[in-house]
Structure 1
Amino acid sequence: MVDDSDSTALRTLGADSKSGILLFGITPPRVSIPTERIREITAATLARLATVDVDGLALYDIDDESDRNPEERPFPYLPTLDPAAYHADYLGEWKRPTVIYRCVGKYSEAQIRAWLQEADAERVLSVFVGASSKSKAVQTLLPQAHALRREYCPSLQLGGVAIAERPDEHLRLIAKQEAGCGYFISQVIYNVDAAKNMVSDYYYTCRDRQLAPNPVLFTLSVCGSVKTLAFLKWLGVDVPRWLENSLCHAEDTLAESYEHCLANARDLIAFCRKLDMPFGFLVESVSIRKVEIEASVALARELSGLLGRAAK
């Protein structure tokens, strides 16, 4: 099991993030899976993570986003365990920090308040996610969730979502920063120019406003099949047409996407270090195929080396 010698790295995310933060993201098991099988899946996950020097784990909160995209979902939506409950009930052996996503619209104010009052800010961070579309019916709006956090758990280090391709995203980041977000985690990045544009705009706008920029963590996800590519696009990931062509016609789609993710990581590391911009990476697999999960772990291991960490 990975020790907790670096467990403060995320709790003080802004302090040392110019050297690069590294997270690994997972989705909790489906609610339909038996308890014993959940324990087996968790043990396998922890065994994989023991081979990588990551600063922390990210647990996603999955919501039905059919309101955002009416096209058929390439992989069916299947409800998963609440990430906070999964963390509490199954991840006791994980000693490093965990970023728990909260799709706040799924929960009532009372539910969010109860979780905030119980959250251990020494072990847990969070990212609050708003509604997937303006038409979606929600129980709690994002500004309301931010207000609840300020009132009931101000020590909880809070992050926000960054969507690099969205116009004026840097202004949204600054607004979230003013609302209490101390770091940002991007949507999956396949268009590196969009990511660099967002970071550059954010960095220089912060400088003009005499604000210290908060760390931006770039999410990287391997793509092992045409179906996974279709799912990434369904999720709203901008895949440049030339790259889509390369992935669709590659003899080995997984190897092609892996090398592209690695090239993007090198580019973003150099770019952020030249700017003196705090940054990091979150590595995930949007597929549950074992080969893609193992490739994502390998990618995290290579990123650890690129960030100057000792090999496991």
Structure 2
Amino acid sequence: MFLEKIKSAESGVLLYGITPPKAGTPTERVAEIAQKTMERLASLDIDALVVYDVQDESARTKDERPFPFLTALDPLDFASNYLGSLNIPKIIYRPAGKFSSQELSDWLEELHKQNFYPVFVGIPTPDFPVKTSLSEAYKIWSKHQSTSVIGAVTIPERHNVLKDEDVRMLDKMSCGVSYFISQCIFNLDYAKQIIEDLAISCNKQRIKPPTIIFTITACGSAKTLHFMEWLGIHVPDELKEELKKSDDILEKSVNICLDIASALTTYCTERSIPFGFNIESVAIRKAEIEASIYMANEIGKMLTNKGVRKASKVNI
């Protein structure tokens, strides 16, 4: 069970992340998308499904957005109304600052009834009017701490600039956060630096480190690569050139992702940091979706072969 694995700081946690269908999608089509999603996941041995809350981040940068922003369905509604027969835990993202304390409290009650788990994320832009701070949101959640776990986001690129991601993580841990899901990893050195600095900080303060779940995402085209960079994901120049020059950018990116996952497994194990992976599938192209399923299976096998993952049975 996902809950027990996080509470016991067990390594090898495996998640799969999706976005809900776009708002305005006909009900029959939403049901069809959900059914196809569940069929794809039927063969996967994963601990939980992540359902993202899609936000417009255009105000974060002056650069033009490579793809137009389209509002998505509410992730809790989609997960509860359309993915109910998928018998695995669901992790639901929520930008806490966009809601009042009462709205968050009501949302958490509904989430808890469904046996889902929250991940609170920040606001889309620094000047966005905040209704509830993250620390207040964690306090509202705390009434469920005996029967739930709450996650947060960690961003290696931010740590590379500000050098304080470990401090941010420890602050959130003091509010009850026990695991972190990273932004998509393409810069291995950035991810390693977070692991190293977090391990040092935890050792200094004599506290147990949280679980870090690294997000792994395939890149299927040059335009998708551009979009990843627009989102703030750093792709090293050497990898970028390898991808652009490749005859099959999707296949090349999958191999890079698998190498990154293997390297992070070794690095975290050596430093006694509990860890896992979140295989993200947010593309609509069939080839990219199939690539995400392949990566989830391969990373699961890799974790099992290295002795850091115990299988979890999935029933649909």
* TM-score relative to the length of structure 1: 0.92
Larger displacement relative to structure 2 (87-96 or 103-112): 103-112
Cα pair distance change 1:121/1:244, threshold 3 Å: farther
Work out the CA distance in 2 between the residues paired with 1:103 and 1:311: 30
How far off its partner does 1:58 sit? 0.3
Matches within 5 A, 1:113-262: 113-120=105-112, 123-151=115-143, 155-166=147-158, 167-262=163-258
1:230 is aligned with what amino acid?
A: H
Cα pair distance change 1:78/1:154, threshold 3 Å: farther
Work out the CA distance in 2 between the residues paired with 1:269 and 1:114: 38
Work out the CA distance in 2 between the residues paired with 1:136 and 1:67: 10
2:89 is aligned with what amino acid?
A: P
**C-alpha RMSD over aligned residues:** 1.8
Q: Alignment partner of 1:17: what SS?
A: coil
1:290 to 271, 286, 289: 286
Cα pair distance change 1:152/1:23, threshold 3 Å: closer
Work out the CA distance in 1 between the residues paired with 2:62 and 2:283: 21
1:207 is aligned with what amino acid?
A: N
Q: State whether residues 121 and 156 of structure 1, in contact with CA within 8 Å, keep that contact through their aligned partners in structure 2.
A: no
1:196 is aligned with what amino acid?
A: K
Pair 1:33-2:25 in alignment:
yes
Q: State whether residues 101 and 126 of structure 1, in contact with CA within 8 Å, keep that contact through their aligned partners in structure 2.
A: yes
Matches within 5 A, 1:51-62: 51-62=43-54
Determine which structure has greater relative contact order: mean sequence separation of CA pairs < 8 Å that are 6+ residues apart, divided by chain length.
Answer: 2
Q: State whether residues 159 and 181 of structure 1, in contact with CA within 8 Å, keep that contact through their aligned partners in structure 2.
A: yes
How far off its partner does 1:311 sit? 11
Q: State whether residues 162 and 173 of structure 1, in contact with CA within 8 Å, keep that contact through their aligned partners in structure 2.
A: yes
- State the number of aligned residues: 304
Q: State whether residues 17 and 278 of structure 1, in contact with CA within 8 Å, keep that contact through their aligned partners in structure 2.
A: yes
How far off its partner does 1:124 sit? 1.1
Work out the CA distance in 2 between the residues paired with 1:310 and 1:78: 37
How far off its partner does 1:122 sit? 7.2
1:78 to 62, 70, 82: 70
Q: Alignment partner of 1:219: what SS?
A: strand
How far off its partner does 1:210 sit? 0.7
How far off its partner does 1:9 sit? 2.9
Q: State whether residues 224 and 257 of structure 1, in contact with CA within 8 Å, keep that contact through their aligned partners in structure 2.
A: yes
Greater helix share, structure number: 2
1:9 to 2, 10, 21: 2
Give per-residue Cα distances to partners, 1:186-213, cap 9 Å, x unaligned: 0000001110110111012101101000
Work out the CA distance in 2 between the residues paired with 1:106 and 1:242: 39
Gaps of 5+ in 2: 305-309
Q: State whether residues 228 and 287 of structure 1, in contact with CA within 8 Å, keep that contact through their aligned partners in structure 2.
A: no
Work out the CA distance in 1 between the residues paired with 2:312 and 2:83: 24
Q: State whether residues 14 and 215 of structure 1, in contact with CA within 8 Å, keep that contact through their aligned partners in structure 2.
A: no
Q: Alignment partner of 1:57: what SS?
A: strand
Work out the CA distance in 2 between the residues paired with 1:175 and 1:81: 31
Tell me the percent identity.
Answer: 41
